[in-house]
Structure formats: C-alpha cells, structure tokens
C-alpha cells in the first residue's frame, strides 16, 4: 500500500468535528496494518450497534460503516457475518439489505453468557473480528454511553467474543470515536486523561489494531479505502449511497446518537457532512487507482 495514501486517509478520518478530543488517541499506522491483515482473512465477524438510552433504540453511527466494510470484504471473497443485539438487529438488517451486503446477521440476546459466545466462535471460526461502534466494558465491568449513563442492561456482551478469541489467534480490530468502544483499551490512559468522563466510561477492551475517527463510520470507510488501494479496485460507496443507507436505517428505528432523534444526521452532523467525507476519500483514491476503477462520486 502507498504509505502516503494511508497517512492521508488516517489524517482525514481523524478530523474531530464534535471536538471530543480524539486526536491524541490515533494510533499512527494501525489503519494500514488493519487493512493489510484483512487481506489474509477467511471469515470475518463484524460487530456493531450502540443502544441509545434516551430513545430506546440503536444509533445511526456504526451500521452503515459495518455494511460498507462487509460488502467490500464479500467482494474480496471473504465470508462475513454481522453480529449485533436485539435492539439493533432490524437496523443492521435494513442497512445490509439496502446496500446489498448479502451476509448473515446474528442477533445476540443481552442475557447471553460466555458459553454462547464460545459456541459462536466454534461454529463460525472467524479469523478476524472487527468492532464498528460497539460498546466495550469499562473498568467496573459495566457499559456506558458518552454521557456516562449506564446501558449495561440493554447491551449484549459482544466484547466477550474479543476476549474468547484472543486465545485462538483471531485478529481483532476496533473502530471508535469516543473512548467507550471495543478496542479503546489500547489507549486506556489517554482516554481517561483526554475524554470527558473518561475515568468512568473508558473501555478496557483491547484489540490488535485500533482505528480512531471523528465519526466511527468514517473509520470503517477509511478502512475500505485502504482495502481498495491494496486490491487496486474501488470498494467504497459514494455520497448517494450514504444517503440511501441513512434513510434505510431511519425507517427501521435508528436515531442520531447525539440528539436521540430520527433525523437525517449522524453524531449531530447533517448527512451532507458525511457525503463530503466519502467523496473526499474517493478523491484521494483517484490519485492512486486507475480512473476506470473508481466508482462515480456523489451527484454523478
């Protein structure tokens, strides 16, 4: 992979429009290393879905990034399974159906125990697990949102898959934007020092690679852009599809995680902002891929 392209993408997705203070959490080079590891994947679990307590349903950040990544991996010949919980199942299903990411969606009960997670690993034998905006437990074993609200009773312990897979050599990748997601244990002390309520909400769950972005979807899109560069073909969606994905999940109950409202926004940013991010990623790809390999940008 072109080192400059990977650095450009890493810098772009790490822009911090919400002023969360995530800049210092970026692990330089992890984006490229995560992408290269996925070249050797066989079966990939993609974990996603974040419960919004004020709305009683899942948020708009996470599922779009998960299905765009999932479809890219499917195009690369990998087997993909989306793993979520009962509160986010219909949202993830809607996103996958709308985008044509033809992979199984597994809904895990919030009451599932360790034996269930071990069984999933034994049945599917994933070589890689990618968490896209999925809560990771804090030091007290509970799960928290950015406000410090406890959401444990509505959160399936999908990070148990990360813990259990570590003994079998599965490669793990965390993508997040706030410090409380799976993977952020890799920068635990930095989250505690730089993120509001970091001492309380910081996830202790460590992954092999950590991708930190201003919006978690952007992290997943950046990963797809890197995979595109490695494959020599454009695997990234465009602004038109960004809008379609958001519309699809709004129709199935998703809400903005910042406002807890069913608006055309993600993390408080209007959909236009997210379309611009996708198109900016494409513009960088255009410098490194043959012109015929690039999908049309939004509006074309």
Contacts of 224 (CB under 8 A, 6+ apart): 68, 69, 72, 235, 236
Contacts of 257 (CB under 8 A, 6+ apart): 50, 52, 59, 60, 61, 146, 266, 267
> By residue range, what is the domain housing residue 97?
3-287
pLDDT 10s digits, 140-180 = 999 999 999 999 999 999 999 999 998 889 999 999 999 99
**Whether the predicted pLDDT of 291 surpasses 90:** no
pLDDT 10s digits, 69-85 = 999 999 999 999 999 99
Q: Look at strands 51-52 and 265-266 and give their pairing.
A: unpaired
- The stretch 234-246 carries a mean pLDDT of 96
Domain membership of residue 70 (yes or no) is: yes
Domain membership of residue 294 (yes or no) is: no
Structure tokens at 213: 């972005």
> 67 or 298: whose pLDDT is higher?
67
Q: Which of 185, 232, 223, 214 is nearest to 276 (CA)?
A: 214
* Cα R_g (the chain), whole angstroms: 17
Domain membership of residue 293 (yes or no) is: no
What pLDDT is recorded for position 287? Answer: 85
Assess contact for 27 and 212: CB atoms under 8 A: yes
pLDDT 10s digits, 73-118 = 999 999 999 999 999 999 999 999 999 999 999 999 999 999 999 9
Alpha-carbon distance of 143 to 201, in angstroms, equals 7
What pLDDT is recorded for position 222? Answer: 98
At 126, the pLDDT band (50, 70, 90 cuts) reads very high
What pLDDT is recorded for position 142? Answer: 98
What percent of the chain has a predicted confidence (pLDDT) above 90?
88
Domain membership of residue 78 (yes or no) is: yes
**CATH code of the domain covering residue 89:** 3.90.1640.20
pLDDT 10s digits, 59-70 = 999 999 999 999
Domain membership of residue 15 (yes or no) is: yes
Place of tokens 């070589």: 127
**Whether the predicted pLDDT of 298 surpasses 50:** no
**Whether the predicted pLDDT of 125 surpasses 90:** yes
Q: Chain-wide mean pLDDT for the chain? A: 94
Domain count, the chain: 1
What pLDDT is recorded for position 17? Answer: 83
Query: What DSSP line would sit under 198-257, residue for residue?
Result: HHHH----B-SEEEE-SSHHHHHHHHHHHHHHHHTS-----HHHHHHHHHHHHTTT-B-T
């Amino acid at each position: 992979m072109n080192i400059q392209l990977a650095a450009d993408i890493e810098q772009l997705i790490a822009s911090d429009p919400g002023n969360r203070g995530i800049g210092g959490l970026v692990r330089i080079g992890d984006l490229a290393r995560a992408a290269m590891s996925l070249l050797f994947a066989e079966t990939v679990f993609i974990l996603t879905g974040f419960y919004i307590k004020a709305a009683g349903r899942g948020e708009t950040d996470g599922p779009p990034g998960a299905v765009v990544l999932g479809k890219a991996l499917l195009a690369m010949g990998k087997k993909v399974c989306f793993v979520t919980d009962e509160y986010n199942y219909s949202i993830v299903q809607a996103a996958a159906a709308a985008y044509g990411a033809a992979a199984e969606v597994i809904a895990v009960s919030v009451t599932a125990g360790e034996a269930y997670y071990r069984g999933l690993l034994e049945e599917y034998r994933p070589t890689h697990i990618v968490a896209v905006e999925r809560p990771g437990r804090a030091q007290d074993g509970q799960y928290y949102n950015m406000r410090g609200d406890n959401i444990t009773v509505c959160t399936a312990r999908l990070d148990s898959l990360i813990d259990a897979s570590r003994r079998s050599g599965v490669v793990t990748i965390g993508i997040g934007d706030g410090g409380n997601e799976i993977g952020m244990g890799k920068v635990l002390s930095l989250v505690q020092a730089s993120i509001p309520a970091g001492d309380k909400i910081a996830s202790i769950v460590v992954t092999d690679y950590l991708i930190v972005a201003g919006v978690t979807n952007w992290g997943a899109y950046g990963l797809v852009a890197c995979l595109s560069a490695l494959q020599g073909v454009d695997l990234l969606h465009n602004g038109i599809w960004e809008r379609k994905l958001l519309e699809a999940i709004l129709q199935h109950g998703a809400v903005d995680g910042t406002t807890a409202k069913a608006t055309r926004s993600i993390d408080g940013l209007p959909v236009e902002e997210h379309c611009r991010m996708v198109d900016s990623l494409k513009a960088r790809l255009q410098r490194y891929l043959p012109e015929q390999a690039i999908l049309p940008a939004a509006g074309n």
